[in-house]
Amino acid sequence: MTERDRRALLILGAALLVMAVVYFWPEPSVEVVGSGGSDVKSAAVRLDQVRKEAALLPVRSEALQLTNTALTEIEKGLIAAETAPQAQAQLLQIVRRVSKLQSPGVELKQNQFGQVRPFGDDYAQIVLSISMDCQIEELVTFLSDIASQPELLAVDELHISATNNKQKSIPVQMMISGLVKGSLLKKQGGSLR
């Protein structure tokens, strides 16, 4: 072996020894300190939010109770009936009662029921179309009396034709609606949506 080969073997041995030390050296364990800090911060923020929500709970409960009480009062104005025809008959009775209370009484010429239709998610609307001849003062009083009924009634449409000059009366057509529970529509086979 020549001197040159010995030096090459010696350098190769040293390189193998360095590579073995690097290859088999244990890796240092690395602990991530930053992520633990952010978990604590986010947990503190969530805890703060939960505390704020818990503090608002009595206020929200009271508001819900007041809303439910108000809704119960409003729902007293619903037309109570077992079926849609019964509700339509009650609506017609109310309108006739109001027309007879006018001074002088307003005579209803025609009446016709429309379809029961959904009104929001929980209610249905009974529709009655009527026609009558009256003077403008009687119409205003009639509309005012309809609005002041304990039942939830509304005039959806109002059509006033030309005045009859001899009698000073005007032909009027209007649609009056009343609210009922939505279950009435479901019983009839319709849907609320």
Averaged over 69-88, what is the pLDDT?
A: 87
Alpha-carbon span 142 to 99, nearest angstrom = 7
* pTM beyond cutoff 0.75: no
77 contacts 152 by C-beta, under 8 angstroms: yes
DSSP type of residue 122: T
101 contacts 144 by C-beta, under 8 angstroms: no
The separation between CA 72 and the C-alpha centre of its own chain, rounded to angstroms, equals: 17
What is the Cα–Cα distance from 143 to 102, expressed in whole angstroms? Answer: 11
Model confidence at 168, in pLDDT bands (50, 70, 90)?
confident
pLDDT of 31-56, one tens digit each? 555 555 568 888 889 999 999 888 88
Q: Is the dihedral of CA 63, 67, 73, 76 positive or negative?
A: negative
| Mean pLDDT (whole number) for 74-93 | 89
Q: Are strands 108-113 and 123-134 parallel, antiparallel or unpaired?
A: antiparallel
**pLDDT for the residue numbered 26:** 74
pLDDT tier at 193, thresholds 50, 70, 90: very low
**Which one is the CATH code of 84-188: 3.30.70.60, 3.90.25.10, 3.60.130.10, 1.10.3210.10?**
3.30.70.60
In this prediction, residue 92 has a pLDDT band, given cuts at 50, 70 and 90, of very high
